[in-house]
Amino acid sequence: MPTEVWKSTIIIYSPFNPKELELSELARDAESGESIVEQFGFEQVTDLSTVPEGVAEFLGLPEPWDGPERTSLVCLVTAQGTACDETCLCDQHDTPEQRASIEEQVSSEKHSDPAIPGSWTDCTGNDLCRCQVCGWQPEED
């Protein structure tokens, strides 16, 4: 099991369709000057429960749901009453800081039916909802 986890962000502008390239080819083109790296950043992940489930499994991290049992989800809703699944938080990650972060993120996005800030609602029964921090989703009975 790794003792440190790092998250890298790379933005490469290329004249080539990246769907037709392997990641290594795209990186090689950026290094050789055929494409350009516009942004390269990295950060150490200090809260391993925020690593997405598939990535955590690949890296051999403990499952994020090991620990206190999660029982509910909340999310923001739109003016039409639709749950915004990209705003869901389980009861373990439903903190004022996480709510503020999500509200800030969705307020900068343009949607035809945007999430209403402060409209946090229980969405535990919605099968499309999963926690945006740990990926937890209630199991169907």
Nearest alpha carbon to residue 128 among 91, 73, 78: 73
Per-residue pLDDT tens digits for 31-58: 999 999 998 899 988 887 778 878 888 8
| pLDDT score, position 36 | 92
Average pLDDT over residues 85-112: 87
Which amino acid appears at position 133 of this protein? V
> If we measure between CA atoms, which residue out of 29, 33, 2 comes closest to residue 17?
29
pLDDT > 90 fraction of the chain, expressed in percent and rounded: 26
Beta-strand relationship, 73-75 and 89-90:
antiparallel
- Structural contact between residues 13 and 39, judged by C-beta atoms closer than 8 angstroms: no
Any alpha helices (H) in 15-52, and if so which ranges?
Answer: 23-32
| Bridge partners, 37 (sequence order) | 12
pTM attached to this predicted model: 0.53
Residue 141 confidence class, pLDDT cut points 50, 70, 90: very low
Per-residue pLDDT band at 106 (split at 50, 70, 90): confident
Count other Cβ atoms within 10 Å, centred on residue 118. 8
